[in-house]
Structures are given as structure tokens and as C-alpha cells.
Structure 1
């Protein structure tokens, strides 16, 4: 068994670097601008394809249709939709 000794400042510097790197990994995973219908449904917390198609057809969320059967949803518009409908507490 090996024991590694670090000065307090070096330890906290190391922890800060690890945290920054992990945040970078998480933000890279969330950078997808266009997501599938299943992912959009997960983000909106809806289970019905009818609900997401209504949101799409009403213009509530942006979408792209690169091919006839492929519909992708804009994550920014999903987040804007959620923020627009957020209610402040009393």
C-alpha cells in the first residue's frame, strides 16, 4: 500500500482541477444542439408522442426535419419553453 502526502494547498489545487475537468465533461455532453424525439420527450418530461407533436406543430419548440422520418428538436428552444412556463413561488 502506497501513501501519498500532499501539502494542503496542493491538495485543494488538485481537487479544483478535477472539478473543473468534470464540469467540462458534463458541459460537453450537454452541448448537443439538436436531439432526437426521445431525448426531447425526456427533457420535457412528457411520455406522449402526441404532446410533443402538438408542441412542435404549435411552434412552441423549434425542430429540424433533415429527412422525412427524422425530426430533431432544438435544446435551446426546449429550455426556453420550460423557462417561459416556470412559475415563481410565493
Structure 2
């Protein structure tokens, strides 16, 4: 068994690099455009009517590449949730 010794600064630098790499890999896997079902899950809503209302009001961005296909922008969903977040006292 081998023991590897690192200085504290080098250890934390290594941890930072690992965390950064994991975050980059997660960002690559995540799609910018998601389906209505995925959008409803992220928004924690169950009604397609509510999702349509958010779309009609311009609260979240969407694209419609074909007549029956509607995709939602993940960034706009996150922005919508952040706009409606309440600060703690």
C-alpha cells in the first residue's frame, strides 16, 4: 500500500479541479431545450394549462420546431424560479 502526502494548498486545489470538472461534465449532458413534461417537473406543477399560461404570458421561453412539438428553455425556467424566490428574513 502506498501513501501519498499532499500539502494542504495542493489538496484543496486538487479538490477544486475535481469539482470544476464534474460541473463541466454535468453541464454538457444537460439539454438547453426540454419537453413539456420535464418543464412541468422542474417547475413542480402538474397542470398542462398552467404550463401553457406561463408560455402565453411570456414568463418562460419556448420554441416550436414542429406543430405538435413544444420545447422549453431550461435557463428561462431557472430564471422564472429565481424571480419568484423569497428571501429569508
Q: TM-score range by the shorter chain?
A: 0.7 to 0.9
Question: Partner residue of 1:75?
Answer: 74
Question: Partner residue of 1:21?
Answer: 21
How many Å apart are 1:65 and its aligned residue? 0.6
Q: Distance in 2 between matches of 1:58 and 1:11?
A: 49
What residue ranges of structure 1 are gaps of 5+ in the alignment? Answer: none
Deviation string, structure 1 residues 27-65 (Cα, Å, up to 9, x no partner): 2233x2211111111111111212111111222111111
Larger CA deviation: 17-26 vs 70-79: 17-26
TM-score normalised per structure 2: 0.76
TM-score normalised per structure 1: 0.75
Over the residues paired in the alignment, what is the CA RMSD in angstroms?
Answer: 2.1
Over 3 Å counting, the alpha-carbon distance change for 1:89 and 1:14 in structure 2 is: closer
Q: Distance in 1 between matches of 2:81 and 2:54?
A: 12
Over 3 Å counting, the alpha-carbon distance change for 1:87 and 1:5 in structure 2 is: closer
SS of the residue aligned with 2:37?
Answer: helix
